[in-house]
Structure 1
Amino acid sequence: MTRSVTTTTDPGRAVTPDDSDVLPSGDRVPFVGDRVVVRYRLGDATPADWRGDASAALSDVTGILLDDGDPLVVDRDGPQSIPRSAVVSIRQLSRVTVRNSEIRRLESAAADGWPGTDTATISGWMLRAGGGFTRRANSALPLEFGSGTDETTLAAVRGWYRARGLPTLVALPERLVPAGQIDGRPVSGEIQMLVRDIEVGVENSPTPTNVRLDEAPTAAWLRAYRGPEVDVPTAAEVVAASRGPVVFASVGDAEPQAIGRATVTSSPDGARWLGVSALWTAPSRRREGLASSVLSALIAWGARQDATRIHVQVESENRTAGTWYRRHGFGLHHTSRYLEL
Structure 2
Amino acid sequence: MDNHATLCWRVERACAAAWPARTTDVLHGWAVARSGGGTRRINSASPLSPGATLDPPGLAAIVAAYRDAGLPAIVRLPTLIDPPTRALDDAGLAAAEGASTTLALVPGAMPAPPAMPATRIAIDPAPTPAWRAARRRLSLVAGAGAEDHLEPLARLRAPAWFASAAIDGATRAVAFAALTDGIAIIEAVATDPDWRGRGLAGACVAALVDRATVAGAVRIALQVARDNAAALALYRRLGFTCQLYDYSYRRRG
TM over 0.5: yes
1:124 aligns with 2:34: no
1:110 aligns with 2:15: yes
Q: Which has the higher contact order (CA 8 A, sep 6+)?
A: 2
Q: Which residue of 2 aligns with 1:56?
A: none
Q: More helix per residue: 1 or 2?
A: 2
Gaps of 5+ in 1: 1-97, 203-207, 267-271
Contact 1:142-1:177 within 8 A present in 2 as well? no
Q: Which amino acid aligns with 1:130?
A: S
C-alpha separation between the residues in 2 aligned to 1:258 and 1:99? 32
Contact 1:314-1:322 within 8 A present in 2 as well? yes
1:221 aligns with 2:134: yes
Superposed CA deviations along residues 33-83 of structure 1, whole A, max 9, x for unmatched, are xxxxxxxxxxxxxxxxxxxxxxxxxxxxxxxxxxxxxxxxxxxxxxxxxxx
**Matches for 1:164-203 after TM superposition, within 5 Å:** 164-178=69-83, 180-181=85-86, 182-183=88-89, 184-186=93-95, 188-199=97-108
C-alpha separation between the residues in 1 aligned to 2:66 and 2:123? 34
Q: Which amino acid aligns with 1:226?
A: S
Contact 2:77-2:249 within 8 A present in 1 as well? yes
Contact 2:99-2:247 within 8 A present in 1 as well? yes
Q: Which amino acid aligns with 2:250?
A: L
Deviation, structure 1 residue 298: 0.9
C-alpha separation between the residues in 2 aligned to 1:225 and 1:262? 18
**Matches for 1:222-237 after TM superposition, within 5 Å:** 222-227=135-140, 230-232=145-147, 235-237=149-151
Q: Which residue of 1 aligns with 2:171?
A: 256
Contact 1:187-1:339 within 8 A present in 2 as well? yes
C-alpha separation between the residues in 1 aligned to 2:4 and 2:219? 17
Q: Which residue of 2 aligns with 1:339?
A: 250
C-alpha separation between the residues in 1 aligned to 2:210 and 2:155? 21
* Structure 1 pair 265–118 and aligned structure 2 pair: CA distance change class (3 A): same
Q: Which residue of 1 aligns with 2:156?
A: 242
Aligned structure 1 segments of 4 or more residues deviating by more than 6 angstroms: none
CA RMSD of superposed structures (Å): 2.7
Superposed CA deviations along residues 176-210 of structure 1, whole A, max 9, x for unmatched, are 1345243321352421111114549x9xxxxx971
Deviation, structure 1 residue 242: 3.0
Aligned sequence identity (%): 31
Q: Which residue of 1 aligns with 2:114?
A: none
Count of aligned positions: 232
Gaps of 5+ in 2: 112-116
Question: Which TM-score applies when normalising by structure 1?
Answer: 0.61
Deviation, structure 1 residue 288: 1.9
SS in 2 for 1:210: strand
Question: Which TM-score applies when normalising by structure 2?
Answer: 0.80
C-alpha separation between the residues in 2 aligned to 1:150 and 1:217? 46
Contact 1:217-1:240 within 8 A present in 2 as well? no
Q: Which residue of 2 aligns with 1:49?
A: none
C-alpha separation between the residues in 2 aligned to 1:301 and 1:133? 30
1:330 aligns with 2:240: yes
Which one of the candidate residues 149, 155, 158 is aligned to 2:63? 158
Q: Which amino acid aligns with 2:180?
A: T
Contact 1:161-1:168 within 8 A present in 2 as well? yes
C-alpha separation between the residues in 1 aligned to 2:99 and 2:65? 26
Contact 2:54-2:84 within 8 A present in 1 as well? no
